[in-house]
Structure 1
């Protein structure tokens, strides 16, 4: 009986983190509606933490299940689709009227499509080295970290004793004005086929593990000193990395195609 109870407890554990993800997402929506955007953003940071933990706990305890996959997608739609859309709508899109509503709805719909595509691919049971399209937590993370940094700007660079990076803070008004475009771009990236890095299959040798440990320690120190700004930089780099790498590969394919075509023409003339 004790063994059976222990097994049930192990199977429930990942779902508890998933439910925590969903709960923080709902609380974030309530905070956004009340106009407490910083609180809403931090609650979604908690959602991201729960989302990172539920999958890893499930894999570590070998309790991955179809039920867990579906529950995770539902919670992600709430926390990384609905909640960020409501937060950004209430913060900056509300004054745009129907256009602002359309942009927020587009973000939610693309989040749902992205999660549905992920569920279909997850059925093969293979852990892929990259995501097809921008993951919903990453797109939401960029918006969340922007709200946290933007709040620092409104408080003169100091909030809860956290420091800010002046150079980055100077770009916040521009990013705020570009928010409608950013929302549309993130929505399209989610339903695109652009590959984005997945760290699930990352295996490190001992030298690499030491280097990664050093990088993690440095990042933790930076996060402690500049938490809002560091989150924004990390999510921005992740989004840009996928786009830039895809663009470079595409340009390389175009160049190779042009070279092959030129080579064929030369051989014909010969």
Structure 2
């Protein structure tokens, strides 16, 4: 009996030890997204703004993958959700604001860092509100502009300007308006389509695959400009829908 009891104790202790660990695969993607945001800040500090913008977009891709990987492998945990939020704050809250500040906003003085702070605070509040309403939120819509989309607008605008040889100090006011507007949209009540109702596992017509290939081809022609237009139109779509709903009431 003593041997059996000891075996039970050992099994219990080993199970307890396994329960204290974390799943590697989804958190690996989250860590990579966090690193991309961190790298974007370092690149901006060294005036490598194109690399900084690209790093933010890489963080977006990785952020989209970690949640899907967790769901596909059934490795969703509370730790993973919290870690993902902290990673999002760095990659989509701090990094875009600091990249924009280093590129253009610093030339405005106090209004410049104020615009950067409005964006950062907006991202933090947006993430906090999203996490607090996970159980009651409508999966078909986001309340406020999602932080990755706001980061994409800021990063793509820097990328477009650098790609065309435009100095940040020459368009600092426009940069400040874009940054501040994105920050305010994140904490607004404007609803944005989440596209979560799209069934990625279902079958689609052959022409849809051709269309996807064409979309990638168009993006590759002028990546910064196309990405900026796509996310800017997404930001405007929520505003248009809200105005239309207001007048229809």
TM-score, length basis structure 2: 0.84
- Seen in structure 2, the aligned counterparts of structure 1 residues 252 and 211 have a Cα distance that, compared at 3 Å, is farther
Contact 2:108 2:172 in 1 (8 A): no
- Seen in structure 2, the aligned counterparts of structure 1 residues 52 and 182 have a Cα distance that, compared at 3 Å, is same
Q: Does 1:142 align with 2:153?
A: yes
Deviations 1:139-182 (A, max 9, x none): 00011111111122118xxxxxxxxxxxxxxxx99976422122
| Residue of structure 1 in register with 2:210 after alignment | 214
| Residue of structure 1 in register with 2:114 after alignment | 102
Contact 1:93 1:180 in 2 (8 A): yes
Name the SS for the 2:192 alignment partner: strand
CA distance in 1, matches of 2:133, 2:234: 22
Q: Does 1:121 align with 2:117?
A: no
| Residue of structure 1 in register with 2:12 after alignment | none
Deviations 1:22-50 (A, max 9, x none): 00111110111111111111111111110
| Residue of structure 2 in register with 1:86 after alignment | 98
CA distance in 1, matches of 2:170, 2:97: 19
Name the SS for the 2:23 alignment partner: helix
| Residue of structure 1 in register with 2:33 after alignment | 21
Deviations 1:60-110 (A, max 9, x none): 112222111111110010011100000111111101111111111111111
Mind listing any 5+ residue stretches in structure 1 that lack a counterpart? 156-171, 254-270
Name the SS for the 2:28 alignment partner: helix
- Seen in structure 2, the aligned counterparts of structure 1 residues 37 and 250 have a Cα distance that, compared at 3 Å, is same
Q: Does 1:52 align with 2:100?
A: no
Name the SS for the 1:178 alignment partner: helix
Contact 2:107 2:172 in 1 (8 A): no
Alignment of 1:166-185 (within 5 A): 177-185=173-181
TM-score, length basis structure 1: 0.78
Q: Does 1:201 align with 2:197?
A: yes
Contact 2:105 2:169 in 1 (8 A): no
Residue 246 of structure 1 is aligned with which of 199, 221, 242?
242
CA distance in 2, matches of 1:143, 1:186: 8
CA distance in 1, matches of 2:170, 2:207: 36
Contact 2:104 2:169 in 1 (8 A): no
Deviations 1:222-266 (A, max 9, x none): 11222121111111111111111111111111xxxxxxxxxxxxx
- Seen in structure 2, the aligned counterparts of structure 1 residues 173 and 28 have a Cα distance that, compared at 3 Å, is closer
Contact 1:25 1:78 in 2 (8 A): yes
Mind listing any 5+ residue stretches in structure 2 that lack a counterpart? 1-14
- Backbone CA RMSD of aligned residues: 2.8
Deviations 1:111-132 (A, max 9, x none): 000001111122x287711111
CA distance in 2, matches of 1:176, 1:215: 37
CA distance in 1, matches of 2:209, 2:20: 34
Name the SS for the 2:104 alignment partner: helix
